[in-house]
Chain A
Amino acid sequence: MRRTDRYRYPFILTLLVLLQFTVRSHLGGDRVAPDFLLLALLLYTIRAEPGKSAAAGFMLGLLRDALTPASFGAGALAHTLVGFASSWAKAVFFAEHVFVKGCLFFAGTWVRNFIVLLVSGRLQGSQVAWELLVWSPLQGLTTAVVGVLVLWFFRGWLSPPRRAGVGVAT
């Protein structure tokens, strides 16, 4: 790990958190605008261990639940699962490629929404279908686009560390 990584990553994650509370409401509808907080979590999970990712997801989900108390706990569970799964899957399956990471952002957003919908049980019938088939994919798409842009813009900061004997390309 580079010496400056301890500053770069928190800086980018803080930036995303600030974007969530400042510009997100001006980027279109609430159901379509990119989720910067989830993006920050997914960026964190790319390089963190699954346990820490799950804990980070739980904390983030709990805080978000405090803002939407109607489904308190659902967000915590969803972000925990997404955080752990993202970190684990990234370690096992995914390559270090921007497109693959974009797909991870898209899938993470959609799965998070799916779990929240499933666990909270607030929506019924066609509302669930609309959420899962229309709005969640759209939000996943915008989140993935922003995530790819962030990766591209901060590519020097977010590129994986080079380690001897680890991550050999085959």
Chain B
Amino acid sequence: MAIGTDRYASRADTLLFITCVALSIAALSLPDQWRDPLAQGLRQTVLAPFLFLQRQTELLAAARYRYDAVVGERDSMALAATFLPELRSENVRLRNLLGLSARLGGGYVSAEILHQPEPTNPLSFVVSAGKKEGVRQLSAVVSPEGLVGLVASVDEHTSVVLSWAHPEFRASAIAIDGSVVGIAAPHGADGPSVWLLELQGVLYRKQVPTGTVIVTSGLGGVFPRGIPIGIVIGPAGEEKGWGRTYLVRPAIHPAELSHVMILNSPRQAGSDLRNVFTVPQDSIETPP
């Protein structure tokens, strides 16, 4: 074992030790009126820089903690703000649905669109209503703005809806004033006009002014008469044969929807739903 023999306490060490102990005992027995100023003096002189250092460290730590909290709050607010327009839009849509349901009376089923991430989702999508809710195949699917599509297949609690953008979609259409009759079909699958409809089979002698509202005609028995399909925005290229084709801007894009209404009961013959839906404000007026 290594022993530092030169480190034993000398008499001076002992004396110093006894002095320190005596001073400690004296400090212990100091009255308050002497002790407090002494402690205060030490804090304000010798300890001042260390206390300053400690205070700054605590401030730094608190600032860092607050920074994290502020960043967290900011992120939460940003996230909430991201969804705010969507929530507002959905709220307006739900209010419109409620208004539409009041005007429709009975014979419909409300359903939520179960959006999927696939890019083809607007062509056909699944809704949260099926046989159990009274949905039937080929039922019309509408929104407050107008026609969305039709039910292609029905499961127990879900249904597959073919939107107007699906290549196989067709609907018998008529101008809102009854002047023109045709077939509404998707315009195509390519180019910038992919999300437009066509009004096909218009008689060659008939001119359809831009802005004309096109609604379902009720022919064929699939769609009731009077559901808005869209607004004519112009002729679709050159005329072929004996008929004309017009481009129609759809009343609603499927991707914008979160809820739809499925008309599940047959309407009375000759019933017209034109007064049920909201006609777009930028329609009707024919440009000069």
* Residues of A bordering B, CB below 8 Å: 17-18, 20-23, 25-26, 49-52, 54-55, 57-58, 61-63, 65-67, 69, 72-74, 76-77, 80-81, 84, 87-88, 90-92, 95-96, 119, 166-170
Contact = CB atoms under 8 A, between A and B. Distances in A.
A25 B54 CA distance: 9
22 contacts: A17-B50, A22-B53, A49-B10, A49-B13, A50-B14, A51-B16, A54-B17, A54-B20, A58-B20, A58-B24, A66-B39, A72-B27, A76-B20, A80-B24, A81-B21, A87-B9, A91-B6, A92-B7, A92-B8, A95-B2, A96-B2, A169-B2
A76 B24 contact: yes
B169 to A, nearest CB: 66
A65 B21 contact: no
Chain B contact residues: over half helix, strand or loop, or mixed?
A: helix
Nearest to B11: A51
Contacts of A81: 21
Interface string B245-284: 0000000000000000000000000000000000000000
A25 B25 contact: no
B238 to A, nearest CB: 78
Interface of B: 1-10, 12-17, 20-21, 23-30, 35-36, 38-40, 42-43, 46-47, 50-51, 53-54, 57-58, 61
Contacts of A169: 1-2
Given A95-B2, A96-B2, A168-B2, A76 B16 contact: no
A101 to B, nearest CB: 13
Contacts of B7: 49-50, 87-88, 90-92
A91 B8 contact: yes
Contact of B17 (A23, A84, A167, A168): A84
B11 to A, nearest CB: 9
A52 B28 contact: no
Given A51-B16, A169-B1, A73 B24 contact: yes
A72 B50 contact: no
Nearest to B58: A25
Main secondary structure of the interface of A (DSSP, over half): helix
Contact of B28 (A51, A73, A84): A73
A167 B27 contact: no
Contact of A167 (B3, B8, B26, B28): B3
Contacts of B12: 51
Contacts of A76: 20, 23-24, 27-28
B24 A92 contact: no
A62 B9 contact: no
A91 B54 CA distance: 35
Contacts of A67: 43, 47
B24 A61 contact: yes
Given A66-B47, A87-B9, A91-B5, 18 more contacts: A21-B50, A22-B54, A50-B17, A51-B9, A51-B15, A62-B24, A65-B39, A66-B43, A69-B36, A73-B28, A76-B23, A77-B28, A88-B7, A88-B9, A90-B7, A91-B8, A91-B9, A95-B1
